[in-house]
Amino acid sequence: MSGKNQLKLIAMYFTQLHAIPENDKWWGKGFTDWNNVKAAQPLFDGHNQPRIPLDNNYYDQSEIETLRRQANLAKQYGVFGFCHYHYWFDGKQLLQTPTNLLLDNPDIDFPFCLSWANETWSKRWDGRDHYILIKQTHPPKKASWQKHFNYLIRAWSDDRAIKIDGKPVFIIYRPQHIKKLSKMLDYWREQAIKAGLKGLYVIYQSQCDIPNKKLQGIDAVFQFQPLNALLSDNNTISARIKAKFHRLLQYLPDPIESFLQSALSTIKISHTLYSYDEVWDKIINQEPLTGFTNYRGAYVDWDNTARYGERATIFGGVTPQRFEYWFKQLVDIVLSDNNKDKLIFINAWNEWAEGAYMEPDMVNGLQYLEAIERVLTGNISINTRN
């Protein structure tokens, strides 16, 4: 693939694999997400837990060599760039070290963008959703917008920033929660132009569909998988109820949402098992959100036992071969659609506690990356249907 219509695979990049003072306070000295990954236990015979990185490489993202190695590995197998999660709480920033290291080292020649993980943090992992660690607020005032812009402009101005229509890409999770969203984005666009940029291209990271009126100022949508497919599934009564309940939560104030999530978690006492193939089939056949440019999402695997234990959501029938089969179909669809920018956002490069990672592990080695390379180069050398 080359030229104007080259497909660009952008991998979501998790930045919680290094210690910070806040996590020391909340979870214990030296805590990182690796603690959860190592502590996971299998819930049934044949359950692939705990997940172990290849060669037991429980790396530290506060070390620059970690970022260099990850960028080189991703580039080697055809990944175009990373989308770093960005944690911002009205001036308080967390887990920014990997992104700052990237910004400080322009020799790491790998494109990137940021996704604002726009939600309140609670002790949801251990079932205490109502126990707030740090609250997400959105004061509708220019002083708050400017403070956030002052950090973001450095990333947007970087030569490696991923752009659409010449504008740096910025992704927002749950934008419907932001007060005066369109005014905030207008302000940022004005400031970006004053700083010498062509503007700003804002993408909604869609976990479930919401009314367009809640997305004023947004340029595009990408389907965050596999959650978008699950929550958009209307084929059964239970699926419709679950999707409607989740959409309702999207509109509620954080304290109420946290209370209901906590109540729900006490009801759910066993894991939920989904079919990998059935969910991928939904992804392939999903309809776009009307009124916006739509970008497709993909996922490698999903198993959040490391975070939720018995309450985990798990996908059965996952293999590198099944992933390759479905990923090939998705790539063919994207290459044939009308979007001039051929983008796929894949979940994820390194979300180990969710079981959503492309990095090599002790069970599958490099097989997922090799599958991606084969699909992107058009060299399908195995029968992925079986």
pLDDT at 242: 53
Separation CA 232–CA 230 (nearest Å): 6
Q: What is the DSSP letter of 161?
A: B
Structure-block tokens of residue 27: 């979870």
Instruction: Identify which of 336, 321, 330, 328 has the alpha carbon closest to the alpha carbon of residue 375.
Output: 328
The CA-CA-CA angle for residues 289, 293, 298, to 5°, reads: 75
Count of CA atoms in the C-beta half-sphere (13 A) of 17? 21
- Per the prediction, the chain carries an average pLDDT of 89
pLDDT at 294: 95
Separation CA 145–CA 343 (nearest Å): 28
pLDDT at 384: 43
Count of CA atoms in the C-beta half-sphere (13 A) of 259? 5
Model pTM? 0.90
Rounded average pLDDT over 328-346: 95
- What domains lie within the chain, and their CATH numbers? 8-377 (3.20.20)
- Backbone φ, ψ for residue 66 (5° rounding): -60, -45
Q: List strand residue ranges (DSSP E) for 135-195, in order.
A: 163-164, 167-173
- Backbone φ, ψ for residue 361 (5° rounding): -125, 180
pLDDT at 122: 84
At 219-249, the pLDDT tens digits run 999 999 999 998 876 544 444 455 555 555 5
At 139-154, the pLDDT tens digits run 999 999 999 999 999 9
pLDDT at 127: 45
pLDDT at 124: 59
Rounded average pLDDT over 62-78: 98
Q: Which residues contact 336 (CB under 8 A, 6 or more apart)?
A: none
At 96-129, the pLDDT tens digits run 999 999 999 999 999 999 999 999 998 755 444 4
Four-residue CA torsion sign, 224, 203, 179, 93: positive
Confidence grade of residue 265 (pLDDT, cut at 50, 70, 90): low
pLDDT at 237: 42
Number of helices (H), then strands (E), belonging to the chain: the values are 13, 16
